[in-house]
Amino acid sequence: MMMTERGMAASVAGGNVLASFDAILAAVVPELAGRVQAVAFDAETGRLDVVPDLPAAGTQLRWSAPKLIAAANERVPGANVRALHVLAPAPAKAGPATAASEPAP
């Protein structure tokens, strides 16, 4: 409220894009669900940065970029996603199930 009174509007679209990315990805490219993570969104340029778990997933993301961008803009009003930037692959973070099965060093 204080920011609005002073004429400063905080952009929440970027946070909404990041928070909604898993659902957007599952709707557009369901075979990549759980294999890609959205890590950043630059509201000024409209660039959404994503990290796949494998190079093949990155290739599939690049092919599906127009559909993902359209779905993100449809699902998050005012987001204005204009580009999907696929970063270098990184292994998925170990969740509780995988962390428990890994041997201790």
Q: Is residue 45 part of a domain?
A: yes
- pLDDT for 102 equals 53
- pLDDT for 5 equals 52
Q: Is residue 98 part of a domain?
A: no
1: its two tokens: 């409220």
Q: Is residue 70 part of a domain?
A: yes
Whether pLDDT at 99 is above 70: no
Q: Is residue 63 part of a domain?
A: yes
What is the chain's mean pLDDT, rounded? 83
Number of domains in the chain: 1
Q: Is residue 103 part of a domain?
A: no
Q: Write out pLDDT tens, residues 26-49.
A: 999 999 999 999 999 999 999 999
Which residue segment(s) compose the domain that 41 sits in? 35-92
Mean pLDDT within 69-88: 95
Q: Is residue 105 part of a domain?
A: no
Q: Is residue 81 part of a domain?
A: yes
- pLDDT for 15 equals 73
